[in-house]
Structure 1
Amino acid sequence: MAARLIFLGLRRRSRNCNPSRFLSAGAASSEYAEQTPSGFEGDDLRSRIFRLRLPKRSATHVIERWVGEGNRLSISELRDISKELRKSQRYKHALEISEWMLTDKEFELSDSDYATRIDLMTKVFGIDAAERYFEDLPLSAKTSETYTALLHSYAGARLTEKAEELYERIKGSNLSFTAVTYNEMMTLYISVGQVEKVSSIVEDLKRQKVAPDVFTYNLWISSCAATLNVDEVRRILSEMSSDSCSDDAWGRYIKLVNVYITANRLVNAESSSPIEAGKGISQREWITYDFLVILYAGLGNKEKIDQIWNSLRMTKQKMMSRNFVCILSSYLMLGHWKEVGEVIDQWKQSSTTDFDTSACNRLLSTLADVGLADKANDFHKLLIQRNCFATDE
């Protein structure tokens, strides 16, 4: 789960990827699906490219034809189309657009363009190709954005040694980096189970006087929770509270973490040993996913919470009361009562863990303690409606 890259601007050319080496500069007209006559409603460049249903069909050919018909073409339009293609996971066509931008002498490329290209090359041709492309860039194009893009590729593939080598180069450069770069290393260490290394990345970030963002704090807290270091979690929350950049989202996140660790007591009989429980997700990783859910709840992103929860429920890993407390507290905080009811039903129907009335009572008490008495009352009514008997102990 990693953080999203944000990039800004410069133009340089690369020697590494000639269009003729990797991408088709043209294609037979039969490869262009459902060609639309010029002037027809919806006959714009974006529509033509998105009608290319198969990756083997050439976006380059579509652009050439568009220009050949006398239409104007701007770099901002190409960037927008490329962004939509990436969202749709149509990486090959997006890379072809990147190739066109690179070879057209009229366009001034930005750092973002080069960094995006590294990410696309990783997805289409693999990390080796992206690595060669980065190394062949002129020094002036080896910016914080392109360094971070390559680091993102290494982290995504869990190539720890390569990532660490690049990270040392980053630290030895005179470039300025944002929290995004450090977040990539933290994400990598958590994903490979080396959570003890996360604190050293936080120290590097602070040493360079880089402002942490909410993702930095989430990763840091996750690493501490994965080792059941509740005292350190509370210390980090205190630091977050005094951060000058703290906003409403951070406030929700801090409150949610407090609800979670208090209602769940992190260290309990069923989660005190962070070891693998058969094949699947380790207990440390479960706690990390819990905090990812809490992060998106703090940011108010219900769609992400739904995606993570549905994905976790599809694994073969044993669900615990901790996981249900996490998702319940997140939906409660955002006021999604339909989902709260569904999670209660899922918990009651679970074949791996019994419905924990005492955990629900702790959650009720904690909600009231942090100033969410109304939500606690509504939650209590919902539990009674579903015959959960969450009465005071």
Structure 2
Amino acid sequence: MWMTERLHLHLSPGDVANRLELITKVYGLDRAVEYFDSMPDQLKQQQCYGSLLKCYAEANCVEKAEELFEKMRGMGMASSYAYNVMMRLYLQNGQVERVHSMHQAMEESGIVPDVSTTHTLVAVLRKKKTLVAAYVVAEDIKAIENVLEKANSCNSMYMCRIGVLLKMNDMVGAEKAYEEWESKHVYHDSRLINLLVDAYCKEGLMDKAEALVDQFIKKGRMPFANTCYKLAGGYFKVGQVSKAADLTKKALASASNEWIPDLTNVLMSLNYFAEQKNVEAAEEMMSLLQRLVTPTRDIYHGLLKTYVNAGKPVSDLLHRMKKDGMEADEETEKILAGEVH
């Protein structure tokens, strides 16, 4: 604050709002309230009140937050941000019904909900998932869908909607939501297709999963590498190991350097190559993987099993393994002795 005072710089409401949060973090809530009270009325705009409300909520001062919120409502400053702060405050205190009451008050006041509103309602649904009463869950989903209809169309909204429907095992509803997203020509995002692909793979619905990806590609879009990786996992699950291994290689080949894959598919592919005694395929997978991550001991052991089964010399491979900081251990010796296949 000394720069403002010494250089007589003019503060904006945004400056005050930022300082309130900073003072709370450094000096505590009481000092922030003192600072707010010391500000001239013309600087106490919606941003500043919203910032102070957030400070109260983060300190879990429910009564003070409620008092300030009512004051803001009386001054016409209760935006979607203020409602969302109160909803999250009630949620963190386990007051689920008060979250619903606040959401209802928001609707009655004509305040347009946003992504944060939806996230809070989804969190409420997760808290309630152990309850037996089906109507409670149904009401939650209805509330979320109402928010989605009123809010601007965006990918994060549809991700929330599809994710909630899949958690409730409503595959048909999730498919309809995906089709709606497609029809609105919203910016195409592979994360949405991944939600459905993942759900299909878990259920073993591989025809549906592959058809969805094919349709996505035919429309000129490029799915993420992990979309292909999810498909591979699905094919491993249904026992189509050869196809799964091919898709795993395809995923690794198309991946950007930032992607760090789960190694489950790679290990299952290496086991398959070991059974087939296919050293060339195993080495190709190792090469693709090394672009993304340093091979683990399990990966090296998978490759080593392939060499041993194929009757190939292993000295160079053991040297590579040692170069990556892995000395031979008991498992390595068992593989070399042919005790592990």
2:332 aligned residue = none
Superposition deviation, residue 125 in structure 1: 4.7
Match of 1:149 among 65, 72, 85: 85
User: Are the equivalent residues in 2 in contact too, given 1:95–1:121 (CA < 8 A)?
Assistant: no
Corresponding residue pairs, total:
236
Q: How far 1:200 moved relative to its partner?
A: 0.5
For the pair 1:256 / 2:197, whether they are aligned, the reply is: no
- Displacement of 1:133 in angstroms is 1.9
Q: Structure with the greater relative contact order (CA < 8 A, sep ≥ 6): 1 or 2?
A: 1
Identity %: 10
Instruction: Output the CA distance in 1 between the equivalents of 2:163 and 2:52.
Output: 31
> Residue 215 of structure 1 corresponds to which residue in structure 2?
156
- Aligned pairs for 1:1-393 (under 5 A) are 63=1, 69-75=6-12, 76-81=14-19, 85=22, 90=25, 93=28, 96-97=31-32, 99-105=34-40, 107-137=42-72, 138-193=74-129, 195-205=137-147, 209-244=150-185, 246-248=186-188, 251-265=189-203, 335-336=256-257, 339-340=260-261, 343-344=262-263, 347=264, 382=289, 386=299, 387=302
- Unmatched 5+ residue regions in structure 2? 130-135, 207-221, 225-236, 238-243, 273-283, 307-341
1:44 alignment partner in structure 2: none
TM-score (norm 2): 0.54
Mapped to 2, the partners of 1:255 and 1:173 lie a distance apart of 36
Distance in 2 of aligned mates of 1:165 and 1:191 = 16
Matched-pair contact (CA < 8 Å) for 2:53–2:69:
yes
CA RMSD of aligned residues (A): 4.4
Partners of 1:126 and 1:106 lie apart in 2 by 24
Q: Which position in structure 2 is the counterpart of 1:39?
A: none
Post-superposition CA distance 1:83-137 (Å, at most 9, x none): 6x49xx9275577456524531164334333222212101225223212221233
Aligned to 1:132, the other structure's residue is in SS state helix
The residue type paired with residue 65 of structure 2 is: A
Pick the structure with greater CA Rg. Answer: 2
Asked if the contact 1:98–1:113 (Cα under 8 Å) also holds between the matched residues in 2, the reply is no
Provide the C-alpha distance between the structure 2 equivalents of 1:169 and 1:66, rounded to a whole number of angstroms: 42
Tell me, in whole angstroms, the C-alpha distance in 2 between the residues paired with 1:380 and 1:233: 38
| Per-residue deviation, 1:172 | 1.7
Corresponding residue of 2:240: none
Scaled by the length of structure 1, the TM-score of the pair is: 0.48
1:158 alignment partner, SS class: coil
- Given residue 144 of structure 2, which amino acid in structure 1 is its aligned partner? V
CA distance in 2, matches of 1:118, 1:124: 10
CA distance in 2, matches of 1:101, 1:155: 26
